Structure formats: structure tokens, C-alpha cells
Amino acid sequence: MRLVLFDIDGTLLREGIAPKLAFARALRETYDTAAPVSGFRFAGMTDPQCVMEIMRMAGLPDEVILRGRDECLTRYVEHLAAEMREHDGAKLFPGVRDLLERLNERPDALVGLLTGNTRGGASLKLRRWSLEPYFRFGAFGDDHEDRPTLAKIALQRAQELLGRPMGGDAATVVGDTPRDVACARAIGARAVVVATGQVPREELLAAGPDALLDSFADREAALGAILP
């Protein structure tokens, strides 16, 4: 049995401007200060980590940021729903649905999420493309702010679902940034990266993934990389 743990943004889909606008609104309302969101690189970071980093850049002390963080993330998801209705620019990457379909047919694969999105944010993004049913379990940004810890939580949830212990070497983490590779390594998992996100190929290669794909358009190549 192989666990296949998917990142969302840059890996399965792209959301356009909506999440940034929603984040900026939530930060402003929660912390009452201008949030330097526009130049911020969200790629590979968990949502609670983004709140922390952006508000540190705005000069707020950690204890103030932490006190408002849950409230801020709740507001973010509310605003995200509204911003997604108002803005286009979202895209499902080539081959994603077909790949998820095929993986779900495999009796030797269990497909889950390993994402920095909060549960609510992930659900909104996946629902737009009716992708939710492909994922049996997941670890989310509201479980922990640290991505490598999320990998451990995902592994633990897979074990609970299967009712037996499982090593990280039975997992493949699929993402689009060096942070996804690092979190795969944290549990001894295979790391597959896809260059559909914002990170250039050379930077992805430098992170030392087990496989690098240009996209999931070549289904057999993708399946071969994910299920070695």
C-alpha cells in the first residue's frame, strides 16, 4: 500500500488573485494594520505561517499575532469564498483529474492531502473543481503551522484509517516547492515535484526530489513517478 499525499496550490490547481485579496482583508480586519501582502511569496508556506511572517514584517510582536491568528484564519476563509466568486484566474492543471481518478482506482494506493491550507480553504479550492471526493484523509494548516509536522500528522491519520502501522517510506509526497521535498524527507517519504507552480525547475532540482515532472499531462510518467 502506498500513501499518496498531495499539496494543493501550484500542484493541483492555481487560484489567481482571490486568496491574496482574502488574506489582506483578514489581516487588516484582525490586526488593524496594513499588511505587506503583495510582494509576499506564499508558495509552500502554511496559512498560519503566512499570518505570522506577514504580520512580523508589519512589525507586530509574536504574542499579538498569535492571539489573533485563529480569528484571522476564520475570516480569511469567509473572505476567500467571496473573493473566489468575484475573480477569475483559477485553473485546474492538465492531467490532474485523470491522475486522481486513476490513483483512486488502484487498490494499492491511498490518496490524501498534505496542505498548508486550512480545512475550510482547502475545501473551497477543491470544491470548485469537484475534487474533494478523491481524498480520503488529510493534514491541514489548522492542524499545525509547520509543514514537516503536517507530514507526520498525515501519516498518523493514514494509519488510523487503515488500522495498522505504516512507515513514512510507504508514502509519496507530491508538491511544487522545495518545502514539499523537505516535508517528505521529515518522514522518510518519496518526494515528487511538479513544475506547475511558481518555483523554477532549477530550484526544484536543487532540493533533490526523487522525481521532477513538468506537469501531470503525461499520465503514465506521473503514475510511474508517484508509485515507483
Select the residue interacting with Mg ion from 3, 4, 6, 10 (CB under 5 A): 10
Strands 137-139 and 109-114, how do they pair?
A: parallel
Build a one-symbol-per-residue string for 151-190: x at contacts with Mg ion by CB under 5 A, - elsewhere: -------------------------x--------------
In whole angstroms, how far apart are CA 24 and each of 76, 77, 136, 158? 8, 12, 31, 34
CB of 156 to Mg ion, least distance (A): 22
- Binding region for Mg ion (CB under 5 A) out of 3-11, 59-67, 150-158, 184-192: 3-11
Select the residue interacting with Mg ion from 4, 7, 50, 137 (CB under 5 A): 7
DSSP state of 9: B
- Cβ atoms of 173 and 138 within 8 Å: the answer is no
Residues belonging to the chain: 228
CB of 115 to Mg ion, least distance (A): 8
For Mg ion, the closer of residues 10 and 141 by Cβ is 10
Distant-in-sequence, close-in-space partners of 192: CB < 8 Å, separation ≥ 6: 172, 173, 174, 175, 209, 210, 211, 212, 213, 225, 226
Size of the site for Mg ion (CB under 5 A): 4
- Binding region for Mg ion (CB under 5 A) out of 7-15, 33-41, 64-72, 122-130: 7-15
Type and span of the H or E element at 191: strand 190-194
Q: Is 15 in the site for Mg ion (CB under 5 A)?
A: no
Q: Is 9 in the site for Mg ion (CB under 5 A)?
A: yes
Under the rule (CB under 5 A), what is the footprint of Mg ion?
A: 7, 9-10, 176
